[in-house]
């Protein structure tokens, strides 16, 4: 009756799905990584691996969203916040020795066609990030349509840069992408002088 067995399984799964993918990660890997009992797996996740995957996506998506919130709260302006958001992703990439990039992307690509439930959960995760950023952009005085486009561009740039950065084992792509997105945002902002 260890406290948080279920949560430990989700956390372990999230990390493994992020690193190795959904298909390549087995229950055995999850319980070994989390130090959780085998027998309780099906008890906590009667929906099977798919349910585990879903909860892992929700967890990972929430962490990314929290990071964005923090950056928005602590930065002087939106463009800077986005730069810090990208930088934070780069730090976590380095901290994990380039094992943990985006907690959603791998599963998203694997399951987009094969497992509708998971694919939709991943799409919802990306959408949530975009909407949070779009809200901030609108508050900074950018028109709704342009704010939506910039948010989409930012999330796409983050995802693509994380992919390249992880493959290449260096965070440069994240820095470049951050510059590009920040420039675009600053160009869209009304003059503040």
Partner DNA sequence: ACATACGGGACCTCCCGTTGCT
Partner DNA sequence: AGCAACGGGAGGTCCCGTATGT
Q: Should residue 139 be labelled a site residue for its own copies when binding is judged by CB under 8 A?
A: no
Q: Which range of residues in 28-36, 63-71, 83-91, 155-163 is near DNA by CB under 7 A?
A: 28-36
Contacts of 111 (CB under 8 A, 6+ apart): 22, 53, 118, 119, 122
119 part of the interface to its own copies, by CB under 8 A: yes
The one segment of 30-38, 56-64, 139-147, 176-184 that binds DNA by CB under 7 A = 30-38
**Long-range CB contacts for residues 167-173, cutoff 8 Å, separation at least 24:** 169/98, 171/90, 171/93, 171/94
- 107: number of CA atoms within 13 Å, CB side? 36
Report, in Å, the least distance between residue 131 CB and DNA: 31
Nearer to DNA, 12 or 154 (CB): 12
Residue 116 near DNA by CB under 7 A: no
**Span 35-64, contacts to DNA by CB under 7 A:** 36-44, 46, 48-50
Q: Binding to DNA by residue 132, rule CB under 7 A? A: no
Rounded CA gap, 134 and 49, in Å? 33
By the 10 Å C-beta count (0-12 exposed, 13-18 middle, 19+ buried), 56 is classed as buried
58 binds its own copies (CB under 8 A): no
Instruction: Answer yes or no whether residue 65 interacts with its own copies by CB under 8 A.
Output: no
Q: Does 101 bind its own copies (CB under 8 A)?
A: yes
Residue from 7, 21, 27, 109 binding DNA (CB under 7 A) = 27
Cα angle 20, 177, 60 (rounded to 5 degrees) comes to 35
CA-based angle 175:179:181, to the nearest 5?
A: 115
Binding site for its own copies (CB under 8 A): 19-24, 98-99, 101, 105-106, 108-110, 112-114, 119, 122-123, 126-127, 149, 152-153, 155-161, 163-164, 166-168, 172-173, 176-177, 179-181, 183-184
């Amino acid at each position: 009756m260890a406290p948080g067995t279920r949560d430990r399984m989700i956390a372990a799964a999230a990390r493994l799905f992020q690193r190795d993918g959904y298909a390549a990660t087995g229950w055995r890997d999850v319980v070994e990584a989390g130090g959780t009992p085998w027998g309780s797996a099906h008890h906590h996740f009667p929906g099977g691996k798919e349910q585990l995957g879903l909860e892992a996506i929700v967890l990972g998506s929430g962490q990314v969203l929290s990071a964005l919130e923090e950056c928005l709260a602590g930065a002087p302006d939106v463009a800077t916040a986005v730069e810090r958001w990208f930088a934070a992703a780069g730090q976590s990439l380095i901290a994990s020795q380039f094992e943990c990039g985006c907690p959603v992307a791998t599963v998203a690509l694997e399951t987009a066609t094969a497992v509708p439930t998971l694919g939709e959960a991943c799409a919802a995760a990306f959408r949530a990030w975009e909407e949070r950023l779009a809200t901030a952009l609108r508050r900074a005085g950018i028109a709704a349509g342009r704010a939506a486009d910039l948010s989409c561009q930012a999330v796409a740039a983050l995802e693509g840069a994380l992919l390249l950065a992880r493959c290449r084992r260096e965070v440069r792509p994240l820095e470049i992408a951050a510059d590009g997105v920040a420039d675009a945002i600053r160009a869209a902002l009304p003059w503040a002088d």
